[in-house]
């Protein structure tokens, strides 16, 4: 059950969601834009050589490290010029969802689960820039495959993050990778871990690589860990913890 503090935050956050907001339309728009980018890029791939396909694992690993970096260094650190992202994530998403109450209640809560659609457009613009460079130094096919991988990874990110915050896990608990990231990300919502650990949202590769995972096991163990808690490291106890009603109103 949500603590009084989380309950107060949720009530305040929900009160400022626009009445016209529709969670399903929000998700549909993201998948429409991402799906269109994927479809458009696929149309431009013609008889790729096997060397062109090498861009796919490279781009997937790059996206994984980028997702880790963005989460650890922008979403969880106040940086000038990026405060909107910090506020939306550390000051809102993590106050709304805690390890004790990580689940959304209705599709209106999608407002705080999914990124705004313009984040995807920004990501696609960055991918297009990288694709342009790839077309100059590698090949046009490799460039379009890069756009496909980037769009696919983004949609993967959004789907897996939703898998972490949906209450019903009757299917997800048996889905490889999705079950792993669900335990991994819910643990990240523990207030003693949130600023330092479990920064991946798709596959915990970069967390394993950079030693920021809460698990003590190898790469394959990380990727296929599922709900297993046997390898969880003992976490430090944070100082001054309170679980009290909010001292100040969460929103104006």
Q: Which stretch binds other proteins (CB under 8 A): 23-31, 43-51, 175-183, 242-250?
A: 242-250
In angstroms, the CA 142 to CA 56 distance is 8
Of 16 and 51, the one with the shorter C-beta distance to other proteins is 16
18 binds other proteins (CB under 8 A): no
Member of 192, 217, 223, 232 binding other proteins (CB under 8 A): 192
In whole angstroms, how close is the CB of 86 to other proteins at the nearest point? 9
Of 57 and 245, the one with the shorter C-beta distance to other proteins is 245
CA count, 13 A, side-chain hemisphere, 168: 4
Member of 24, 44, 57, 87 binding other proteins (CB under 8 A): 87
Of 28, 62, 220, 26, which Cα lies nearest the Cα of 153?
62
Of 92, 94, 93, 74, which Cα lies nearest the Cα of 83?
74
Instruction: From residue 247, give the alpha-carbon distance in Å to each of 4, 92, 228.
Output: 11, 16, 37
**What does 186-210 look like in DSSP terms, one character per residue?**
HHHTSTTTTTTS---SS-THHHHHH
In whole angstroms, how close is the CB of 250 to other proteins at the nearest point? 5
Of 105 and 243, the one with the shorter C-beta distance to other proteins is 243
Residues 6+ apart with CB under 8 A from 4: 243, 244, 245, 246
Q: Which stretch binds other proteins (CB under 8 A): 63-71, 169-177, 220-228, 238-246?
A: 238-246
250 binds other proteins (CB under 8 A): yes
Of 12 and 130, the one with the shorter C-beta distance to other proteins is 12
**What does 122-139 look like in DSSP terms, one character per residue?**
HHHHHHHHHHHHHHHHT-
3-class DSSP assignment, residue 24: helix
Member of 20, 125, 220, 244 binding other proteins (CB under 8 A): 244
CA angle 172, 173, 175 (to 5 degrees): 60
211 binds other proteins (CB under 8 A): no
Q: Which stretch binds other proteins (CB under 8 A): 10-18, 22-30, 31-39, 172-180?
A: 10-18
191 binds other proteins (CB under 8 A): yes
246 binds other proteins (CB under 8 A): yes
In angstroms, the CA 167 to CA 52 distance is 41
In angstroms, the CA 167 to CA 142 distance is 39
In whole angstroms, how close is the CB of 81 to other proteins at the nearest point? 11
Contact residues for other proteins, defined by CB under 8 A: 5, 9, 12-13, 16, 76-78, 80, 83, 87, 90-92, 94-95, 191-192, 194-196, 236, 238-244, 246-252
């Amino acid at each position: 059950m949500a603590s009084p503090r989380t309950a107060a935050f949720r009530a305040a956050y929900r009160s400022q969601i626009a009445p016209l907001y529709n969670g399903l339309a929000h998700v549909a728009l993201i998948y429409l834009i991402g799906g269109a980018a994927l479809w458009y890029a696929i149309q431009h791939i013609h008889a790729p050589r096997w060397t062109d396909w090498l861009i796919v694992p490279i781009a997937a690993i790059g996206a994984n490290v980028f997702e880790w970096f963005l989460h650890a260094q922008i979403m969880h650190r106040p940086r000038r010029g990026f405060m909107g992202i910090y506020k939306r994530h550390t000051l809102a998403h993590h106050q709304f969802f805690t390890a004790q109450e990580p689940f959304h209640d209705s599709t209106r809560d999608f407002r705080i689960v999914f990124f705004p659609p313009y984040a995807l457009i920004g990501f696609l613009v960055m991918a297009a820039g990288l694709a342009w460079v790839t077309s100059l130094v590698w090949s046009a096919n490799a460039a379009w495959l890069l756009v496909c991988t980037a769009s696919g990874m983004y949609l993967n990110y959004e789907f897996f993050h939703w898998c972490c915050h949906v209450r019903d896990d009757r299917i997800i608990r048996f889905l490889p990778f999705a079950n792993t990231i669900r335990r991994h990300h819910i643990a990240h919502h523990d207030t003693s871990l949130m600023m330092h650990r479990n920064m991946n949202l798709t596959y915990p590769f970069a967390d394993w690589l950079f030693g920021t995972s809460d698990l003590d096991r190898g790469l394959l163990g990380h990727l296929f860990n599922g709900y297993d808690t046997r390898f969880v490291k003992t976490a430090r106890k944070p100082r001054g913890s309170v679980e009290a009603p909010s001292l100040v109103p969460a929103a104006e």
